[in-house]
Structure 1
């Protein structure tokens, strides 16, 4: 019975089976592939891939991948890409990934395009500029996302193979063989970012992995190589600002050419090439913009500097955007390729084949989520303490693709090498050295405690220390001792502090010190680094006093950590070191010292500043907003043996900003006031002079004013610089910068009769000086060799106005200036 039933139903089942197969054969197929360059094997981004003889298509992503639904019966894809031969590719349905190569067109000289009417690219670019505010992700009310970032450094294997074939040197063969197996360096991170307009911004490193290291200090490198969006007036690449082709002010300085018109469903994608107009001199870009007609938004971009960079490197960026919610365009992939070369080598075989590749993949994007202020950390950038200890399956979830054989080998080899040679110990040196400290186990030794020089003390030798986080994350202590050759006095001090709240950097501490202080110098809350040119002025100081000070202080961060505050109570004694006397009347004996009892409030407000919390300290990255400083001191003559009653205010505002096509301006405004003029010189304000018997320029000081030439009980000063950067002079591998300088100030010393043997005078008529500087007078390769990355220049200033000197030549100063070239 069962057999008879089976025989009866068999034809029906067979017919149904054949029908199912036939129906399946009619279903569209999902074709995936990757497009690469035939010569180099590098993936090609934004290649237009369409089904042959149709407008149905897509584009490759930044890694060259694409996915396309192909209807039944279609067997060919058509590919087009600017600068490459188009081709028809036959689909191999037996392969899961179609591997497609494209050939670059032979190099052609740039032709001058003459349009009979309006350039058709102009309408597209102007529409895109008009819609910038709508499409710029930085102008959204809020967003969140997670990103996977990969950064690797590698060497060109083919370069070493060619050198081996040319020279027969077996070391080149061994290098090529090694590069078959691994890269030089690899780093990965996963970050989570939250943003709410206008200024709430937080990025947390959830996970990080660095080959050979556990220190996470390099983790943010991949995300800081380029601007997050291409819509800004300028595009930042490797900390260099380039005028954007989407800046309306730059429209006349760029040449635009419509290279291709592509179709994606109902939308049109315009491929527009851009480059600076001939014979213009500015930091511009060249590349391709893919503009989607839906909202006139940037869908993708390829860009690189229009001119060869000085310093031996070139780079290219790629950005890809998607409509994540059907309305808003948002970046989903960011690529940066950096190529290093030897700028002195005319022989290509002598070039350095080092490449650095940064990749960022953005996912889990939410547009305008309901973020509250309490959803944001106090720090712009912070690290998860377990970031480098997360399991393998965590990384598998975020990686865009599994690690290649070479990448896995890089981790294995570099991790073993790092453990053998303790790379982390070297990495742990870098951050303290930037701030002028040498870490030794649980303590840091300030470099300036070992040796420094100034005109008053001469050569100063000593030793100092402060404990670091390895000693305690809650308690810090330290001290110093010094002796100098010219005044032959001992200096010493010690301090201790407790961290009460880490996120607010709330500290309670106390200190005692006997040391020198600049007479009438300011005490604003500035931060100096190891190679800061502003420290040059310290060499010139010739009027210093001995001050013994005992203090208790409370410091903390406030207003989203933009405001740094310190409140202190101090007592002590200041003694001057020359023939100077202070008196308040004919019947009073002259004072050679005074005791003080003082409370002090110091503040620094830096709106928009990026505050990064590392394992050891808080790092501040500057913003484009002005920085404000304020110091308020109140002295008492009836408390704790204090002899001076006064109120003293000091303030400063500094700002620096770029002006498209004109350069960069820097302003520093300073002022000071005391409520009474009859105070000892150390409580007044000595004008910030910078002219001494040294041929070194001190930035943001009066370069023609002699040390201690002027003093005041109230003053105001402005220091101005305008750098044309490389807009005026530019030659291959040599770009000197012209800087215009003007400094001016006025101050009143109202009780001159109270000061005996005081050579400083009032400057109520106004002090003026102007001049120029030419920075980077040496090619960068020479600067690296001769002055360790500091770029020298020449500064010429002229003193004029009421306080000009009788002899004209005495009003001029010619000095050597130094700026960092990295």
Structure 2
């Protein structure tokens, strides 16, 4: 009986506890519902016509010296064997603690004025200072680490957007719990905890919101995410009684190690993480306790004042004067004084940067990634030095473009190359004049006498890619020679776009057995006058206007590219009348754990009387050889690896390819590959096939498909890939459907 009575009491307590918890949940949800309904009168960007607020930001990569043991350890081989062998003394922890006790690993400061008008919020950077750099790295300075406002429907952390705990549909995606009442700025608030119900929909966000119980505005907020990174943003607000608004007073953002074994690069620093829910075999380092800390203090808020937002196409803007501020400026604008470690860090970073030549190495790396080596006022083009293909043999050359040391307003570019097999020189020479710094506009012209792969698709907004190797070119044998006069304007005057407008006149001579039949006349060479316009539109990216140019600080997807080309039949001695419309959609989704999903859709339509030289070949990359081992070559980035060269041609086509890459996996110390699953498909057709004489080909009416697996960076950047061809155009012999390729991934390490 006593046991029964005890169980009865316990049952009643559970019922009471559940009832209290349910009531608290109901109260919390009701408060959040009212907060969501009140957003229009509590969000400064919705309630106010204009506002202006000043901000001082300090960004550090640092560590707490007290969290590091600082021991000097001995390293042994066979530590658990009867007679371990001593190898060396490991003093890395000791030296790291000694350094971090005096200095930070990285430090920068920024003074900004945020202006809101015409439903746009823009950051004008008034002063910028970055340890180790005479000129700040604008790409770091412009990174948006987190959302400015807690009221945004999609909350952003490190360029990833999540459903906000105050979104219109937040009650469907988050759980809320009442934690008690708190006083903030002498006003009563309800502190409410939130947590996403489903990680996929809510994004894994959790934290607390302090809701003002009078107007249901956010008076304080802490938003967190815990995964491969431990992210925490703390918003503190100041109540402006005259405006009846809570305005930001201080924001603190901290990025620390999460739970994963992937390496994540943040602001140029590498943080290493342990696997979730298991012991890591990776050696622990004192630097594992490093973290990123960004603190912003706000002041001088102004409301409903006349504001005219300039340069609305950019989210942030920095002038040349902002990077040359003196000590008086910083003394007047620091809302939080520097401590002794902050003060000592700047000369320490400057010394390291000077001794390690970090700025010059960074400049070299930027140029190298675009295919150049700076030599005084001239950037040597690496892509011109040496290539090889079936028609020219070894192609040796020299070329490049002048840089800012030559002139910021004018540029001259050109190259010359010689083919050892065809015995001909190819060359190009051109120049351009800058029309505007803000719009990045140039007007220029050039003359080129060179070869071009037949039916290859190129968007003129694309920079010609630099590759240490160009595997496709090795096996290309079908080219046409073109002597082209070109006049062009390139500009970014349209917000979030880059466009090129050009007019070309070319004499085309196919270097293969081909004749084009046009109205009963046979052409083995011809003249073309083409007007083209290409626009790349990045609607979701963020941009910064710098003293030199407008740069894309945050690349967001999808990105769209459109190109229209029209032959001008009554202009000069153009031989044919035709047009082309091309479109491309790029999408990438990187994940914090190192995974990456990407997709590419591309389509083209050529109408009218179009010679084969200007149609579409789908970028094949499989040599015409009898055996698998003879067809082994390097894989291309977006080419069809099982499609034979000159096998398919189309006057209209649509192509889709998707890729998904894994994080890097450690097999042994120096073998850390990542896997990529690839699948591609294309459909196409040919209009007026009777016009193309002397060249055998197939069309893609039934669809071409291939899938494969890449094992990248197995050793020193090299990897291995295999692809399989299937569907209506699969080969009768199983072996002919398989393509084995090498891959190469460049890692500069600078």
* TM-score above 0.5: yes
Matched, 1:267 2:188: yes
Cα distance in 1 for residues equivalent to 2:634 and 2:174 = 41
Deviations 1:141-171 (A, max 9, x none): 6544332221122244235553249999777
Q: Please, which of 218, 221, 226 is the counterpart of residue 146 of structure 2? A: 226
- Tell me the residue number matched to 2:277: none
Structure 1 residues 477 and 405: alpha-carbon distance in aligned structure 2, compared to 1, 3 A threshold? same
Deviation of 1:644 (Å): 1.6
Cα distance in 2 for residues equivalent to 1:282 and 1:797 = 38
Matched, 1:391 2:391: no
SS at match of 2:137: coil
Cα distance in 1 for residues equivalent to 2:558 and 2:90 = 55
Residues 196 and 203 in structure 2, CA contact (< 8 A), matched pair in contact too: no
Matched, 1:382 2:317: yes
Q: Please, which of 744, 747, 755 is the counterpart of residue 685 of structure 2? A: 747
Deviation of 1:476 (Å): 0.6
Cα distance in 2 for residues equivalent to 1:163 and 1:552 = 66
Residues 96 and 287 in structure 2, CA contact (< 8 A), matched pair in contact too: no
Deviations 1:512-568 (A, max 9, x none): 222222212233234359689999866775533222212222333333x33434333
Matched, 1:145 2:33: no
Alignment RMSD (CA, Å): 4.4
Residues 601 and 633 in structure 1, CA contact (< 8 A), matched pair in contact too: no
Q: Please, which of 255, 259, 263 is the counterpart of residue 338 of structure 1? A: 255
Deviation of 1:446 (Å): 2.9
SS at match of 2:492: strand
- Tell me the residue number matched to 1:518: 453
How do 1:758-797 and structure 2 match up within 5 A?
A: 758-763=695-700, 765-769=701-705, 786=715
Structure 1 residues 683 and 209: alpha-carbon distance in aligned structure 2, compared to 1, 3 A threshold? same
How do 1:208-607 and structure 2 match up within 5 A?
A: 208-218=128-138, 220-221=140-141, 224-232=144-152, 234-242=154-162, 244-246=164-166, 254-264=174-184, 265-274=186-195, 283-307=203-227, 309=228, 314-324=230-240, 326-339=243-256, 340-341=271-272, 343=274, 348=284, 352-366=288-302, 369-372=305-308, 375-376=310-311, 379-419=314-354, 422-452=357-387, 460-484=395-419, 489-528=424-463, 541-559=476-494, 561-584=495-518, 588=521, 591=524, 593-607=525-539
Cα distance in 2 for residues equivalent to 1:494 and 1:548 = 12
SS at match of 2:288: coil
Cα distance in 2 for residues equivalent to 1:224 and 1:384 = 19
Deviation of 1:270 (Å): 1.4
Q: Which 10-residue stretch deviates more, 385-394 or 753-762?
A: 753-762
Cα distance in 1 for residues equivalent to 2:112 and 2:209 = 28
SS at match of 1:162: coil
SS at match of 1:558: coil
What is the TM-score with the length of structure 2 in the denominator? 0.76
Q: Please, which of 633, 648, 653 is the counterpart of residue 710 of structure 1? A: 648
Structure number with larger C-alpha Rg: 1
Residues 187 and 219 in structure 1, CA contact (< 8 A), matched pair in contact too: no
What is the TM-score with the length of structure 1 in the denominator? 0.70
Cα distance in 2 for residues equivalent to 1:774 and 1:658 = 19
> Structure 2: which 5+ residue stretches go unaligned?
1-16, 76-88, 257-270, 275-279, 624-630, 664-671
SS at match of 1:272: strand
Cα distance in 2 for residues equivalent to 1:117 and 1:464 = 73
Deviations 1:184-220 (A, max 9, x none): 321111223334455x554332211112211222474
Cα distance in 1 for residues equivalent to 2:586 and 2:45 = 23
> Structure 1: which 5+ residue stretches go unaligned?
1-112, 727-733
Deviations 1:604-631 (A, max 9, x none): 3444543334455442344556524122
Cα distance in 1 for residues equivalent to 2:685 and 2:22 = 63
Cα distance in 1 for residues equivalent to 2:299 and 2:467 = 40
Cα distance in 2 for residues equivalent to 1:245 and 1:724 = 31
Q: Which 10-residue stretch deviates more, 465-474 or 697-706?
A: 697-706
Deviation of 1:466 (Å): 0.9
How do 1:106-145 and structure 2 match up within 5 A?
A: 117=22, 119-120=25-26, 121-131=28-38, 135=42, 142-145=50-53
Cα distance in 1 for residues equivalent to 2:207 and 2:197 = 10
Matched, 1:671 2:607: no
Residues 124 and 316 in structure 2, CA contact (< 8 A), matched pair in contact too: yes
Cα distance in 2 for residues equivalent to 1:117 and 1:147 = 42
Residues 460 and 482 in structure 1, CA contact (< 8 A), matched pair in contact too: yes
Matched, 1:163 2:71: yes
Cα distance in 2 for residues equivalent to 1:182 and 1:193 = 31
Deviation of 1:497 (Å): 0.9
Residues 206 and 224 in structure 2, CA contact (< 8 A), matched pair in contact too: yes
Cα distance in 2 for residues equivalent to 1:363 and 1:452 = 58
Cα distance in 2 for residues equivalent to 1:720 and 1:314 = 34
Deviation of 1:387 (Å): 1.7
Residues 151 and 222 in structure 1, CA contact (< 8 A), matched pair in contact too: no
State the number of aligned residues.
675
Deviation of 1:496 (Å): 0.9
Matched, 1:686 2:602: no
Structure with higher RCO (Cα < 8 A, 6+ apart): 2
- Tell me the residue number matched to 2:694: 757
- Tell me the residue number matched to 2:578: 647
Residues 413 and 431 in structure 2, CA contact (< 8 A), matched pair in contact too: yes
Deviation of 1:404 (Å): 0.9
Deviation of 1:703 (Å): 5.5
Structure 1 residues 426 and 489: alpha-carbon distance in aligned structure 2, compared to 1, 3 A threshold? same
